[in-house]
Amino acid sequence: MSENRKNIWISLGASVTGASHTRKEPPIPNQDAYKEQRGELHQIEEKVNDKTEIKIKITPTVVAVSDGHGSEKYIRSDCGSLFAVDTICLLATSMFRDLPNPEIRIRVSEIDTVAEQIKVQFVNMWKNGVDNHSKSHQLNEVELLFLEKKFAEGKLSEEVCTTIKKDFEIVSNIEDVKNNPPSRVAYGCTFLAAIAYEDVVLILQHGDGDIIGLYPNGEIKELIAPNPKNFANETSSLCRVKNPAEIQHAVLVGTEIPILITLSTDGVKNSFNDLNSDIEKFYNIPVVLKNSLFKNSCDTKIVATELSSLLTKMATHGSGDDVTLGVLFDESKIQAEVEQSAQTASVQESEPIVVESDVKDNSNNIDAKIGEDEM
């Protein structure tokens, strides 16, 4: 990487299937999806005044997390979440390609424009991906039996079952599709994404989950304001988006940019016993991760392994739900702290992420104690 780059954005993350899903017969696959795409430097040739010049272009670093709803009617939500993370990573690279080089100041208005374009294309591409998948992968015998069973148990209405089956019918008449668009309910999911391009970060979110920023001074902030539509077990869903503007976004520049950002599905926060008393422990996770990166000299393999261990405990003894957490951090700033510390004192030997579990009779609870010095 170029030495004159101000920000070096690095990503890592992990996703673990919840115990409530693995105990099912047959086991339910992980409904969450995680994808990261690290930025790269590319040399391209451009014609300037009849001369060929070599210019450096930078692709953004992207972290994307999606949570498939997973309940009875969302029988393909694991596919929906995969489409979501794949689509946003693809779009981020293509949409940021034409932005100015980082040496040229990028205005917030430019990123806002890009954000609105991404949202429109993202919704269209996700819907098209879901529609193509439903037509090329008809409901199989297991899925049909599942719908019939849930209808018999009273967990799905006849209307919902009919709607789901209709989505998988192959319709040749385009007008019929326009007049009766598919519900896509089987693929319902949420999504969260952070896109870092040098000294600009774009945050996107639809549905529940949390995007938290940790700043150099230790301040911790939610980077997207909570949506009142996401309450208790109710959440916005990509399968119900009518207007791309429903997707929330925020543009961070200058001092608004954290040193580290976490993106997590709701299963992570729900792994804490009492959100009134334990909420500080949840918000301390970015601090724990930052300390681990510091003590491991930003070795993402070590930190990702520790993160996976932490999430496994949450998935097993916490919410019981699938748990996924992605991390985007500014390696240049954390590495600068490491180098400064090395000059003044030896860095203490690293300790793994520790979660002390007080498991109750109900295995869906965990008293997760995450302290600043537990790394």
pLDDT at residue 109, as a whole number: 77
pLDDT computed for residue 351 by the predictor: 53
Q: What is the mean pLDDT of each successive set of 10 residues along the chain, which is 375 residues long?
A: 61 94 85 92 71 76 95 92 96 76 63 91 95 91 89 91 87 54 90 91 95 95 85 82 94 93 94 70 93 92 95 89 96 85 58 44 36 37
Question: Dihedrals φ, ψ of 109, to 5°?
Answer: -60, -35
pTM value? 0.85
Three-class DSSP category at 278: coil
Contact 338, 294 (CB under 8 A): yes
Q: Where are the domains of the chain?
A: 9-266
Q: Confirm or reject CATH 3.30.870 for domain 9-266, answering yes or no.
A: no
For the chain, count helices (H), then strands (E): 11, 12
> Within a 10 A sphere around the Cβ of 354, how many other Cβ atoms?
17
CA distance 324 to 191: 11
Counting every residue, how long is the chain? Answer: 375
